[in-house]
């Protein structure tokens, strides 16, 4: 309550925001649909209330004092924040129920988006919003309804929403392998695409031996770009089947190494609330079911 007593009237805050942003009392009066004397009166009253000069008047020219600039910027940010919340509320009302998902850019781009039409058929009343991570999925959900997170074997046994095991292999496009050969049996020097900041690297597929120095490398900080590069036939990539399962079933990417790494860890779709909404649980279960079916297909084809 003490803070509210310090605040000037809301009308005067609207006036200072418009006048500071537009740099003109006359333009502020036009935007607010009030007279210019009313703008001048509101600013004078605000300066008296604060005991601070906000504008310097030099004939027809108008400039902000340092305090005027600070207050103007603060009110602009505050009004923009309120406006964004209102827009989001209106959009939510128009679109139906929103489910927020925290996941990797790779999973969103290469696993979920190819199934988006199926998602809409199953959940016509729902809208997905994403919080995307370019590398690894870890940490708090930050208010999201669902999050793809990795768990060690012991923790995995206690969690619901199982998505997929962490299975890693070397992959490339069929055309690339035809020209350059596999990882162990190259026909030409390979190009290896790297994901910066991730502990798994190419030496995990060489038994710790160094990479041939004649091979080229490309390094990206976003896994979706790594996979896109492999799809374009520009190099080999380290592939997580939790991301590229559909790409492998469609034979857009194929195995390029005899080595498959099974870490024992498992990806789960964890909920951000102890009492998640029914729609959130339904979306979680649908995603998990889609992945379970693909896991069965990967095993049936001998890919996994």
Q: Taking the domains of the chain in order of start, what are their residue ranges?
A: 2-94, 97-164+270-295, 166-266
- CB–CB of 134/162 below 8 Å? no
Give the CA dihedral 102, 103, 105, 109, nearest 10 degrees: -100
Q: From residue 47, give the alpha-carbon distance in Å to each of 14, 57, 67, 245.
A: 14, 13, 10, 64
Residue 1 pLDDT more than 60?
Answer: no
Q: What is the pTM of this model?
A: 0.66
What percentage of the chain carries pLDDT values higher than 70?
A: 90
Rounded mean pLDDT, 137-160? 88
The confidence score (pLDDT) of residue 60 equals 63
CA distances to 103, 113, 235 from 180, rounded to whole Å, are: 33, 30, 9
97-164+270-295 CATH pick, 3.50.50.60, 3.40.50.300, 1.10.10.10, 3.40.190.10: 3.40.190.10
Q: Which has more confidence, 1 or 18?
A: 18
Inter-residue contact 223 to 133 (CB < 8 Å): no
Q: Which CATH number fits domain 166-266: 3.40.630.30, 3.40.50.150, 3.40.190.10, 3.20.20.70?
A: 3.40.190.10
Does residue 28 surpass a pLDDT of 90? no
Angle between helices 10-22 and 66-95 (to 10 degrees): 110
- What are the tens digits of pLDDT across the range 156-213? 999 899 999 999 999 999 999 999 999 999 999 999 999 888 888 999 999 889 999 9
Question: Domain spanning 2-94 has what CATH number?
Answer: 1.10.10.10
Q: Do domains 97-164+270-295 and 166-266 have the same CATH topology?
A: yes
In this structure, the number of other CB atoms found within 10 A of the CB of residue 128 comes to 18
């Amino acid at each position: 309550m003490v803070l509210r007593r310090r605040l000037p009237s809301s009308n005067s805050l609207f006036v200072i925001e418009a006048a500071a942003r537009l740099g003109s009392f006359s333009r502020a009066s036009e935007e607010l649909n009030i007279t210019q004397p009313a703008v001048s009166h509101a600013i004078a009253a605000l300066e008296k209330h604060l005991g601070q000069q906000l504008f310097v008047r030099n004939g027809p020219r108008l400039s902000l004092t340092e305090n005027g600039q600070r207050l103007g910027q603060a009110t602009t940010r505050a009004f923009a924040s309120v406006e964004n919340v209102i827009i989001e509320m209106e959009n939510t009302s128009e679109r139906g129920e929103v489910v927020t998902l925290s996941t990797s850019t790779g999973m969103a781009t290469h696993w979920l988006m190819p199934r988006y039409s199926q998602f809409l058929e199953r959940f016509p009343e729902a809208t997905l919003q994403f919080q995307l991570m370019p590398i690894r999925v870890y940490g708090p959900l930050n208010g999201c309804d669902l999050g793809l997170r990795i768990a060690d074997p012991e923790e995995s046994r206690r969690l619901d929403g199982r998505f997929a095991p962490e299975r890693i292999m070397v992959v490339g496009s069929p055309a690339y392998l035809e020209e350059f050969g596999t990882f162990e049996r190259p026909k030409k020097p390979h190009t290896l695409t790297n994901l910066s900041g991730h502990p798994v690297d190419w030496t995990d597929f060489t038994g710790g031996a160094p990479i041939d120095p004649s091979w080229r490398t490309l390094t990206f900080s976003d896994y979706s770009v790594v996979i896109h590069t492999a799809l374009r036939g520009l190099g080999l990539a380290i592939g997580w089947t939790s991301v590229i399962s559909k790409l492998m079933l469609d034979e857009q990417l194929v195995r390029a190494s005899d080595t498959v790494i099974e870490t024992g860890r498992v990806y789960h779709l964890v909920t951000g609330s102890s009492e998640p909404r029914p729609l959130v649980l339904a979306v979680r279960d649908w995603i998990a079911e889609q992945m379970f079916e693909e896991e069965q297909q990967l095993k049936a084809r001998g890919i996994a």
